[in-house]
Amino acid sequence: MGMTAIYPGSFDPITNGHLDVARRAVKLFDEVIIAVATGEGKLPLFPIDQRLALIESALAEDGLPPLQVVELDGLLVHFAEKIGATVIVRGLRAVSDFEFEFQMALMNRKLLEEVETIFLMPREDYSYLSSRIIKEIARLGGKLEGFVPDCVAQALRQELRQ
């Protein structure tokens, strides 16, 4: 039996940085499941169904193999235990991400000792990207090309068109 990894996040919306991390994870693990968190106390721009659809479109647009994209409602470690995943993949953009990610990794290990967290760094030219920054660029009418897949750029323009 192969190793299954979960790549969790809110992906509101998915960016080229997220796709880069997914591409790296696919090379390392037999199965990578993208788990889209429904509620982390954030008010998402896109509802969960639209985020799931955008991720699947982005994966196809990017040429990544079809990955399982699922809704994550509840504790990540419970989901990992349920599907038999032993790895959580997280992207680290900068040192500023590390403290929060380190705390989460330690807490997840405390909750389920069998699960390891692996940190992957996206390409340098994506290290400044975040969904929050992308939404701000879109709100202000900035150029989105090169930051997000075309399907996401289109959805952002449509969603934020006043």
The active-site residue, picked from 10, 23, 24, 131, is: 131
Catalytic site residue 130? no
Contact by Cβ (8 Å): 17, 127: yes
Catalytic site residue 57? no
Catalytic site residue 18? yes
The active-site residue, picked from 23, 24, 90, 93, is: 93
Q: Is the peptide bond before 13 cis (omega within 30 degrees of 0)?
A: yes
DSSP-assigned beta bridge partners for residue 90: 119
The active-site residue, picked from 10, 18, 23, 135, is: 18
The active-site residue, picked from 42, 78, 123, 132, is: 42
Token output for 72:
């994550």
Report DSSP letters for 46-82, one per residue: S-HHHHHHHHHHHHHHHTPPPPEEEEE-S-HHHHHHH
Catalytic site residue 90? no
Q: Catalytic positions, please?
A: 18, 42, 93, 131
